[in-house]
Chains A and B, each alone.
Chain A
Amino acid sequence: MSYLAFRNLWQQKIRLVLSVAGVALALMLIILLNGFLSGIYAQVTAYLDNSPADLVIAQEGITNLLSATSLLPAGVVDQARGVPGVARVTPIVSQFTIFDLHEEKVVAYMVGYEPGQGGGPWQMKNGRFPTSDDEVVLDWVMAANHSIQIGDMLDILDETFTVVGLSDDTNSWMASFFFVEKRAAERLLLTPDATSFVLLTLTPDADINTVTDRLNRRLRDVEIVSVETMRQNDLDLLVQVFAAPLQLMVTIAFAVGTAILGMVIYTATVERTREYGVLKAVGAKNYHLYWLVAQQGLVTAVLGALIGIGLAWLAAQTIMYNTPKFLIVLEPKRVLLMAGSGLLMGLLAALLPARLVARLDPAQVFRK
């Protein structure tokens, strides 16, 4: 039966190539879309992932870093310093900002930090950290995209800053990070002595829950959140935003792949009606013929899946090379799962021709 299935497919090579290509492209799209999303998730949590902090103090009601604006009551930084178990207190001022560069809107996330207290860039590609309140460190990908170099001037909220450094691993498709001194950020946002978040690094022997309780007793009108929780909250909100559009696009791509496979298998079955009739007449059961049809769908789907994985990897490398702001993460488990959906396509595509074969009357076939 397998040999027969293969011969049915192989007899029309161009048709086989076109159908495998269609399935491969559909699966490539599904894998790429999921890879985009995984990349976004990895990029947007980069600040917290690279922070040595264990806890974050935010304004009451705020448990996200990126999604919401936080403004802490005065005195929180000093109060947090005095809590046993807290080794380091890092205040930051942060806010989304939009640059207008070469008539393009570029979204970026400003982090104002105090030099020497942490909270700034964790990896530099070039240059140095800011040492005055009119200097800025930009993400190198964002800088490269807009031909900005060290020493260039950049307008941030109508004030001019000098680019003194280029950071690495601070880029994302949605918004890159950029860093200024905390007092510069306060001035730009017209919020003197303000603090958005306080990052707390605990002593090695401190228990996080105990320190959290102490902080809750001492501080009022704040949220004290573990870095892990805050990171997850940021991810959850992103999932909320992107999940529905992603599912819609993936569903359409899956439907396209199934339609292509369905057309090929159905056509191949219709062309072989007499031969299927003969098989039935000589005693082949319906399930033999179903399996024959299904194999054709599965073989095409498997070929399409293998090529689709290759195309997805190639497309991902090409996209990331040409547009470094994108990070496409192809996790092997997820890729295999997506490719597995190709098998589902094959099985679904075989349903219509299976019905055709089931209803086939050998006598009618010979009468024609």
Chain B
Amino acid sequence: MFNLAWRNLSQNRTQFLLGVGGVALALLLMLTLDALLAGSEEDLVAYIEQSDADIFVAQAGVKNMHMAASAITWRDLRLAEHNAEVISASPILYTTSVVNAGDSDVLSYIIGFDPDEPLGGPGEVAVGTAVLDTDEVIIDDAVARSQGLALGDEVEIMGHNFTIVGLTHGLTNIVNSVSFISLRDFQMLRPGDAVSYALLDVAAGADPVQVAAAINDRNPDVLALPTAEFSREERQIIRDMSVEILNIMNLSGLLIGLAVTALTLYTSTLRKRQEYGVLKAIGARNHHLYSVVAAQAALSLLLGFVAAIGLVWLLGQIIPLAVPGMGLALTRTGITRVLISTLIIGVAAALAPAWQLARLDPAQVFRS
């Protein structure tokens, strides 16, 4: 049955490629948006997850960095530090601003950190140094590449010129990048008594969940979250903002995939009408013929699915080179969703040809 199904499908190579290609592209529609969003999630939490911090302390009620503002006092920071299991509490100042490089503006989180503190700066500097002096900045290599910048070049942040002394990697997402200046420079640009967040390192063997709970109990003006939970809260922003659009895209992809698969099966069934008539004439039952159609559907969808996965992977390699910060990441949820859609398409698309075969009169086939 599968052998017959394969031969039916592949007899004409061009039609086969167009059919499988159409299915692959329809499934690609569903996979791509999910992969784009998953890629954005990864990029969004890169600073948090690369920070080596065990706990993030923010203003009470603040559970995010992206599109959020937080302000805690130095007293709040010292209170958090005065916990037996906290080794260090490093302050950062944070804002969203624009890095101006020549004619272009790049939206960026600006993080002011103290180079003498163990936490707060970039997790890793790919090129140059992480030790910042006055009027020095570390930017992401994706921004440097897109704006034609290198170590030693100058950029303008909040009206002040900074010299690039280091480049990070992987801290640019589709919306913005992350740039680092010294805490002192930040305070000069934006005077104030508060800090934005405190990054805590806890002792080996200590449970960050319990330490965070203790900090929250002692000081109701702050919210301490273990890094894993803080990162989860951050990822949720992307998911909650995009769930409806994702549903619309999935539905569109499902319907288009259905149309393409139904077309492929219908066309190949029609082409083999005489052969099916012969089979019926020599005793094949309808369910035998349905099984051939079902096998064709399964084969073309399986090949389309594999091709779609391959295309997403390929796009994931090419696109970041062309559009810095735009990454694609395949997720289990996305693949599962597309698999289920593929099953639905397969069952629904086989209906038309099944109806064709049920109505097929062998005598008519021979007569025509």
Instruction: Please give the residue numbers on chain A whose beta carbons come within 8 Å of chain B beta carbons, in ascending order.
Output: 12, 14-15, 18-19, 21-22, 25-26, 28-29, 32, 36, 59-64, 67-69, 71, 95-98, 100, 104-107, 155-159, 173-175, 189-191, 221, 223, 233, 237, 240-241, 244-245, 248-249, 252-253, 255-256, 259-260, 262-264, 266-267, 270-271, 319, 323, 326, 352
Contacts and interface: CB of A to CB of B under 8 A. Distances in A.
B14 to A, nearest CB: 6
Contacts of B156: 61
B98 A175 contact: no
A210 B255 CA distance: 58
A158 B326 contact: no
A249 B29 contact: yes
A12 B273 CA distance: 13
A94 B154 CA distance: 29
B21 interface: yes
B96 to A, nearest CB: 5
Interface of B: 12, 14-15, 18-19, 21-22, 25-26, 28-29, 32-33, 36, 59-64, 67-69, 71, 73, 95-98, 100, 105, 107, 156-160, 174-175, 190, 192, 194, 223, 233, 236-237, 240-241, 244-245, 248-249, 252, 255-256, 259-260, 262-264, 266-267, 270-271, 315, 319, 323, 326, 352
A259 B237 contact: no
A71 B190 contact: yes
A105 B98 contact: no
Contacts of B319: 244, 248
Given A100-B63, A263-B260, 6 more contacts: A22-B22, A29-B256, A61-B157, A64-B98, A107-B237, A191-B71
A58 to B, nearest CB: 10
Given A68-B107, A96-B69, A98-B237, A252 B29 contact: yes
A256 B22 contact: yes
B104 to A, nearest CB: 9
A263 B263 CA distance: 9
A189 B255 contact: no
29 contacts: A12-B270, A18-B266, A21-B259, A25-B255, A32-B248, A60-B160, A61-B100, A61-B159, A63-B98, A64-B98, A67-B107, A96-B67, A97-B67, A97-B69, A98-B237, A100-B63, A105-B236, A155-B61, A157-B59, A191-B192, A223-B159, A240-B107, A248-B315, A252-B29, A253-B29, A255-B25, A256-B22, A266-B15, A326-B244
Contacts of B60: 157-158
A249 B32 contact: yes
Which 5 A-B pairs rank lowest in CB-CB distance, beginning with the nearest?
A60-B159, A158-B61, A190-B71, A22-B259, A158-B60
Contact of B174 (A97, A233, A244): A244
Contact of A260 (B29, B61, B241, B263): B263
B62 A157 contact: yes
Contacts of A100: 63
Given A18-B263, A244-B174, A256 B26 contact: yes
Contacts of A237: 105, 107
Given A69-B97, A97-B68, A237-B105, A266 B14 contact: yes
Contacts of A36: 245
A74 to B, nearest CB: 9
Contacts of A260: 22, 259-260, 263
A245 B95 contact: no
Contacts of B64: 98, 105
Contacts of B236: 105
Given A98-B237, A256-B260, A68 B96 contact: yes
B74 to A, nearest CB: 12
Contact of B267 (A26, A32, A252, A267): A267
Contact of B98 (A62, A71, A241, A249): A62
Given A14-B352, A249-B32, A260-B263, A61 B59 contact: no
Nearest to B235: A105
Contacts of B61: 155-159
B96 A67 contact: yes
B249 to A, nearest CB: 7
A264 B260 CA distance: 10
Most buried by A among B25, B32, B190: B25
Contacts of A266: 14-15, 18
A69 B96 contact: yes
Given A60-B159, A98-B63, A259 B256 contact: no
Contacts of A106: 240
B307 to A, nearest CB: 12
A106 B64 CA distance: 12
Contact of A96 (B68, B105, B259): B68
A264 B267 CA distance: 8
A63 B260 CA distance: 48
A359 to B, nearest CB: 13
Nearest to B268: A267
A221 B69 contact: no
Nearest to B223: A158
A26 B352 CA distance: 21
A252 B71 CA distance: 44
A315 B256 CA distance: 15
A270 B263 contact: no
